[in-house]
Amino acid sequence: IKEKYGSNYNIFESAISEKFKAMLTMESELRKALKDGQFELHYQPQKNLNSDEIVGMEALLRWKHPLKGYIPPDDFIGLAEKTGLIIDIGDWVLQEACRQNKAWQDKGFQPVVVGVNLSAKQLYQRELVGKVKKILDETGLAPGYLELEITETMAMTNEENILETIQCLRQLGVMVSIDDFGTGYSSFKYLSVFPVTKLKIDKMFINENREQNQAIVKSIIHMSHSLNMKVIAEGVETVDQLRFLTDEACDEMQGFYFSKPLPPEKLTKLL
Ligand code: C2E
Ligand code: CA
Ligand code: CA
Ligand code: CA
């Protein structure tokens, strides 16, 4: 390569090592963040379109870096997954979301379901069900107030224990939803076999102005209901989108039109 690219090679080489160095730095910073308590959860409320009440909220991870300020999850979840750190971070998220939700219930706020995003590595670990049970026992949160969000791609794998994992979680009484629905490879066969409770229609179908999107959204809503699942639309940004979803009998909505993800002290003002 060196001969072919001549002096450009050095630029190439240093670009790679810069990137690699940045990754190593971030990896050690992520470890430190977990140890020093730099992670926070923000919560985005979810509204029932029939009753107009808040029925749930999604916990979304935020990293409050001491120098760089808030770093969004898309900038570090990938690396956390690659390095396996996502397991420890994910344990913290689960624990914190359950603790917070129970604390709100104890204070007398109306009870809502808290949604927690799982990464593939978390879903595939053998101890997952045991961990979830332990966290529910320790925090005292009733299992029906926890919803685990997995993606289609994570569910539709050949890993044979996935179906069993989901069944065990459901037996505990925990809710399981399919996130970003419509962007992965779902098969009707899997959907009817997995005991999931809710589909989350990906925001792309809701807020990208393409002609086919409304037809797609309608059919996802109808399909969910035929399979006895609830359905929520993500990324609702305008009143027109909200009206369309209400007309089509979508169960719930989440999006900037109603509220951005909020830090805990702001979220309680809506409850
Ligand atoms: P996601 O699970 O699909 O989460 C929804 C994302 O859409 C959030 O971005 C949210 O802020 C954003 N959003 C909500 N309403 C609207 C809207 O009306 N319009 C638009 N354009 N966006 C909206 P966020 O918080 O940056 O999270 C990005 C992704 O990071 C999440 O996508 C999820 O895949 C991942 N993530 C977040 N927290 C966790 C976590 O605790 N664990 C894991 N494994 N992944 C997480
Ligand atoms: Ca999600
Ligand atoms: Ca999503
Ligand atoms: Ca996502």
Residue 77 near ligand 1, beta carbon < 6 Å: yes
Atom of ligand 1 nearest to the CA of 122: 44
Which of 3-12, 202-211, 221-230, 241-250 is predicted with the least confidence, judged by mean pLDDT? 3-12
Residue 182 near ligand 1, beta carbon < 6 Å: no
Tell how far the Cα of 142 is from the centroid of ligand 3, in angstroms.
24
Residues 147-171 as b/e (b if ≥16 CB within 10 A, e otherwise) read: bbbbbbebbbeeeeebeebbebbbe
Kindly provide the ipTM of the predicted complex, given to two decimals: 0.98
Whose atoms come closest to the Cα of 254: which ligand?
A: 1
Name every residue whose Cβ is closer than 8 Å to that of residue 38 and which is 6 or more positions away in sequence: 32, 63, 64, 65, 66
Split at pLDDT 50, 70, 90, the class of 33 is: very high
Cβ contact 254:232 at 8 Å: yes
pLDDT in tens, 206-228: 998 888 999 999 999 999 999 99
Mean pLDDT for the chain?
93
Tell how far the Cα of 43 is from the centroid of ligand 2, in angstroms.
11
Atom of ligand 1 nearest to the CA of 254: 15
pTM value is 0.93
Split at pLDDT 50, 70, 90, the class of 1 is: low
Atom of ligand 1 nearest to the CA of 73: 30
Which residue's CA is the nearest one to ligand 1's atom 12? 235
Q: What are phi and psi of 208, to 5 degrees?
A: -95, 130
Q: Which residues pair with 67 in a beta bridge?
A: none
**Cα angle vertex 152, ends 39, 261, to 5°?**
35
Residue 237 near ligand 1, beta carbon < 6 Å: yes
Split at pLDDT 50, 70, 90, the class of 88 is: very high
Residue 238 backbone zone (phi > 0: left; psi -120 to 50: alpha; other: beta) = beta
Is the predicted pLDDT of residue 9 greater than 80, yes or no? no
Q: What are phi and psi of 7, to 5 degrees?
A: -70, -25
pLDDT in tens, 141-178: 999 999 999 998 888 776 668 899 999 999 999 999 99
Which residue's CA is the nearest one to ligand 1's atom 2? 117
Residue 115 near ligand 1, beta carbon < 6 Å: no
Residue 224 CA to residue 201 CA, distance in Å, equals: 10
Split at pLDDT 50, 70, 90, the class of 5 is: low
Tell how far the Cα of 253 is from the centroid of ligand 1, in angstroms.
14
Which residue's CA is the nearest one to ligand 1's atom 7? 235
pLDDT in tens, 95-131: 999 999 999 999 999 999 999 999 999 999 989 999 9
Mutational test site, ligand 1, from 234, 240, 252, max ligand atoms within 8 Å of CB? 234
Instruction: Note every long-range contact of 123-127, with CB atoms under 8 Å and residues 24 or more positions apart, other chains counting.
Output: 123/150, 123/154, 123/162, 123/165, 124/159, 124/161, 124/162, 125/87, 126/161
Tell how far the Cα of 180 is from the centroid of ligand 4, in angstroms.
6
Is the predicted pLDDT of residue 14 greater than 90, yes or no? no
Cβ contact 239:257 at 8 Å: yes
